[in-house]
């Protein structure tokens, strides 16, 4: 099963969103 890949993708997207928010509070 390639569930790990999907999970990693979601985590990566979340990290990117969090970084953007941190840069533009």
User: Residue 3: what pLDDT?
Assistant: 62
User: Residue 2: what pLDDT?
Assistant: 58
pTM of the model as a whole: 0.42
Tens digits of per-residue pLDDT, 1-22? 556 666 677 888 888 888 888 8
User: How many C-beta atoms lie closer than 10 Å to residue 15's C-beta?
Assistant: 10
Q: Three-state SS string across 1-25, please?
A: CCHHHHHHHHHHHHHHHHHHHHHCC
> What is the Cα–Cα distance from 19 to 14, expressed in whole angstroms?
9
Contacts of 3 (CB under 8 A, 6+ apart): none
Token couple for 18: 């969090």
Structure-model confidence comparison of residues 25 and 21, the more confident one? 21
């Amino acid at each position: 099963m390639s569930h790990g890949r999907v999970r990693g993708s979601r985590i990566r997207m979340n990290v990117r969103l969090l970084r953007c928010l941190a840069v533009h509070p």
